[in-house]
Amino acid sequence: MGLVVQKYGGSSVADAEAVKRVAQRIVAAKKEGNEVVVIVSAMGDTTDELLDLAQRVSPAPGGRELDMLLTAGERMSMALLAMAIGDLGHEARSFTGSQAGVITDSVHGRARIIDVTPGRIRQALDNGNIAIVAGFQGVSQDSKDITTLGRGGSDTTAVALAAALDADACEIYTDVDGVFTADPRIVPTARRVPSITYEEMLEMAASGAKILHLRCVEYARRYRMPIHVRSSFSTLDGTWVAESSEGSEQPDMEQPIISGVAHDRSEAKITVVGVPDKVGEASTIFRSVADAGVNIDMIVQNVSAADTNRTDISFTLPANDGRKGVEALTAIQTAVGFESLRYDDGVGKVSLVGAGMRSHPGVSATLFGSLADAGVNIEMISTSEIRISVVVRGEDVDTAVSAIHAAFDLDSDQVEAVVYGGTGR
């Protein structure tokens, strides 16, 4: 008998029928002899509808009250799920984030978890009940106000409670069958990855794979909590994210293990043209962008031209923040003395992720060669220990993903019957 934490997203509980289906799945895990804790998100589009409602009342709603409003969403889904489980003859008790002991800081809208004290959850389990917990929410340590955790909050709630309860595993249910070697909508022959390390999953998430949020993987890695990412629409095994990659294949230990190819179309590129080649100019530029609250991803600085002592600095950022970035830089143009700005949101990023990549120089050569053969021009390159990312034209992303996937022999013999993202609603 084990303790399992399951997390179901909004699309898994989109309507009454979906709630009942999820209830059956939960009861099945209980019947197998497990103690079961379930984290649930708000139903379908509830959160967006509540945001709409807030906009109709107030142009700039305060964080405390917006969190109070939004947390109504999980309150509904968790109560409904507990009812549906009750109809199947098992007792379930729902708990808000606050009741479940999810203690956070006071930053409304994107609070960080600072402690988890799941006494009431432990007690419910001891009483033989299934515990249903609202994802995405907590209570602030200082003011006892209700908070929300922001993006990836429900996944993070699940991992945090799993760690605090010393669960055997944290199952994240989603609408795909697991982590794939590439987006099957682009590469129909992409394979499910049976297992992947925390570090590789972090690089995949940072490179645009939307299946797990960076934050949840970071939390799991810190507490060494195994995550099982799987579909709520099938009983197949999904992908295990854990300490060491123990795939069903036994690869040659000296060969680099490639996890997959990720891509991201949500970024834009800013080039600062003609920056005087003086100490501290780059620092001034990136400080101004950071002060505007913009996260920068890749940075490339060219060698300065000998005749002008000027250089170009390019970086990528979320396209949503493009305007903020350009405004911040325009404000310091005179002070820094650069010549102009170029903004380009027609780019895409393609990344190859896998362990042991750096020690195998052949990996970069194969990657660049495959893109050249496919006629894809590379605009920027960035590498880490276990990742190589390139920025290409947006319209070349699909070609690049397919070319790299094939070049590293990731194609499976048969097409798996999945759709990557956005089913079942």
Q: How far is the CB of 139 from a copy of itself (least distance, A)?
A: 10
The only residue of 28, 53, 305, 372 in contact with a copy of itself, by rule CB under 8 A: 53
Under 8 Å CB-to-CB from 28, ≥6 apart: which residues?
A: none
Alpha helices by DSSP H, listed for 359-408, are 362-373, 397-407
Q: How far is the CB of 307 from a copy of itself (least distance, A)?
A: 57
Was 7 annotated as part of a binding site? yes
The only residue of 2, 16, 365, 385 in contact with a copy of itself, by rule CB under 8 A: 16
Under 8 Å CB-to-CB from 239, ≥6 apart: which residues?
A: 178, 179, 192, 193, 194, 195, 196, 228, 229, 230
Which is nearer to a copy of itself, 69 or 182 (by Cβ)? 69
Q: Does 310 bind a copy of itself (CB under 8 A)?
A: no
The only residue of 14, 51, 54, 296 in contact with a copy of itself, by rule CB under 8 A: 54
Contact (Cβ atoms closer than 8 angstroms) between residue 38 and residue 7 = yes
Q: How far is the CB of 40 from a copy of itself (least distance, A)?
A: 12
Which is nearer to a copy of itself, 124 or 261 (by Cβ)? 124
Which is nearer to a copy of itself, 108 or 215 (by Cβ)? 108
Alpha helices by DSSP H, listed for 259-417, are 281-291, 322-331, 333-336, 362-373, 397-407
Q: Which of residues 58-97 bind a copy of itself (CB under 8 A)?
A: 58-62, 64-66, 68-69, 71-73, 75-76, 78-80, 82-84, 86-87, 92-94
Backbone φ, ψ for residue 158 (5° rounding): -60, -50
Was 9 annotated as part of a binding site? yes
Was 274 annotated as part of a binding site? no
Greatest Cα pair distance in the chain:
80
Stretch that binds a copy of itself, among 13-21, 198-206, 294-302, 327-335 (CB under 8 A): 13-21
Which stretch of DSSP H or E encloses residue 181?
none
Q: How far is the CB of 218 from a copy of itself (least distance, A)?
A: 30
340/289 Cα distance (integer angstroms)? 16
Q: How far is the CB of 77 from a copy of itself (least distance, A)?
A: 9
Can you state the percent helix, strand and coil of the chain, rounding each to 5?
Answer: 35, 25, 40
Contact (Cβ atoms closer than 8 angstroms) between residue 384 and residue 409 = no
Closest CA relative to residue 78, chosen from 98, 93, 67? 93
Q: How far is the CB of 86 from a copy of itself (least distance, A)?
A: 5
Q: Does 144 bind a copy of itself (CB under 8 A)?
A: yes
Which is nearer to a copy of itself, 8 or 338 (by Cβ)? 8
Cα radius of gyration (the chain): 23
Cα atoms in the Cβ-side hemisphere of radius 13 Å centred on 381: 10
Q: How far is the CB of 124 from a copy of itself (least distance, A)?
A: 11
Phi-psi region of 344 (alpha: psi -120 to 50; beta: other; left: phi over 0): beta
Which is nearer to a copy of itself, 52 or 339 (by Cβ)? 52
**Per the annotation, where are the binding residues for ATP?**
7-10, 174-175, 185
Q: Point out which residues bind a copy of itself (CB under 8 A).
A: 16, 19-20, 50, 53-54, 56-62, 64-66, 68-69, 71-73, 75-76, 78-80, 82-84, 86-87, 92-94, 99, 120, 144
**Per the annotation, where are the binding residues?**
7-10, 47, 74, 174-175, 185
**Per the annotation, where are the binding residues for substrate?**
47, 74
